[in-house]
Amino acid sequence: MTTTPDSRPQPAAGPGHPLDAAWQGEAAGAGSQAVPSPDGVLRLINGYWATGVLAAASTHRLFTHLAAGAGSAGELAQAAQISERGAQTLLDALVALGLVELHGGRYRNGAQAATYLVEDSPVSLAAFARLKLKHMGALADLPQVVAAGGPVTDAVVEVADNPHWRELVLAIAPQSVPAARLAVDVLGLTDAGPVEILDVGGGSGVYAATWLQANPAARATQLDWAPINAIARSLMDERGLSQRFTTIDGDFHTTDFGTGRYDVAVYSHIAHQEGAEANIEVFTRLRQALRGGGALVVCDYVVDDDRSGPAFPLVFASEMLLKSHHGSTWRAADYHDWLTKAGFTDITFHRAAPATLVVAR
């Protein structure tokens, strides 16, 4: 490194580099080329701060306390039984993240926090925020995973007896509520009469619960691993829907769906874990399981055909690279191709941000 007469260090930049041009422009008093602020890049590099802040705020129910009227660091500290210093630190960060607003010296939830981070709401993502903090360590493997094209550890989570299922299933269920509600309208389920529904890999049963509540004549069957079905049955009991809800314990890769038994089938947030051949095979069996005129609902993070967006599905592909051998976020054209090969002829797409509903008949 060299120094100029005014002892400032020269940046290590080659000819034509914007920093080099900016430095020369400043020295000449011209400022001939604007240099972008590093703020955005620094925010991304330190993105784990946001994950930590959200997890901590959700752990101490700060968004719920804000919704209840606590509007200062002192009031939040008292309500959450945490230190006032800790409460102020979280509030500062949440304001910076655009989730909490400051008005007249008092804090309140912004629109997104009020909708998605207050506890005890059907669409609350607070539990998911807490869960993701536990997953951060796995990202350290991502450079190796990118080089290898898939997972580099022997850890297996996709097994029936993994104890993490209860926490995961309950944490991710709210993400499906908007899509399940949209499907009620798209399919006309409210006035559809005594329809039979098959939910493959249904998890918490959020689709079945939403649709059974919308249509008191409908019945639903969920196919999933036994420990997960037990969670869904418990939740159905709480909602008073258990008499119209049954389960089949099994793996959707190998379990027979039957022939001509169902009016609606749903395959939600599974296709991104599978490759093309596996998805075509499952879609084919689901087509056979439907009655004439029946509909398959696929919900997932679908990307544009040119892979220019939407943003969340594009980033989510990294999760699949990290955790699956064949998964990704697939294009709308991929789904159309696979469903056509499976025998469907009427295929439509409906945005349920950040996901997309694909309805095939």
Q: Which CATH number fits domain 168-360: 3.40.50.150, 2.30.110.10, 3.40.50.460, 3.40.190.290?
A: 3.40.50.150
**Res 7: pLDDT:** 42
What residues does CATH 1.10.10.10 cover in the chain?
Answer: 46-138
Query: In this structure, what token pair is assigned to residue 60?
Result: 């101490």
Say what the pLDDT of residue 33 is: 72
Tens digit of pLDDT per residue, the chain (361 long)? 444 444 444 444 444 444 444 434 444 444 557 899 998 899 888 999 999 999 999 999 999 999 999 999 999 999 999 999 999 999 999 999 999 999 999 999 999 999 999 999 999 999 999 999 988 888 888 999 999 999 887 654 555 566 666 788 888 899 999 999 999 999 999 999 999 999 999 999 999 999 999 999 999 999 999 999 999 999 999 999 999 999 999 999 999 999 999 999 999 999 999 999 999 999 999 999 999 999 999 999 999 999 999 999 999 999 999 988 999 999 999 999 999 999 999 999 999 999 999 999 9
- pLDDT for residue 25: 43
Q: What was the pLDDT predicted at 162?
A: 64
Residue appearing with tokens 């784990």: 48
Question: What span, in angstroms and rounded, lies between the C-alpha atoms of 353 and 179?
Answer: 8
Q: Is the pTM of this model over 0.85?
A: no
> Minimal CA–CA distance to 261: which of 219, 230, 229, 232?
219
Residue 347 near residue 338, CB atoms below 8 Å: no
Residue 229 CB contacts under 8 Å (≥ 6 apart), including other chains: 222, 247, 248, 249
Picking from 186, 198, 241, 236, the residue whose alpha carbon sits closest to that of residue 217 is: 241
Domain with CATH 3.40.50.150 in the chain: 168-360
Say how far apart CA 281 and CA 253 lie, in whole Å.
Answer: 9
Please report which helix (H) or strand (E) contains residue 262, including its range: strand 262-268
CATH code of the region 46-138: 1.10.10.10
pLDDT, position 151: 87
CA dihedral 91, 96, 99, 100 (to 10 degrees): 40
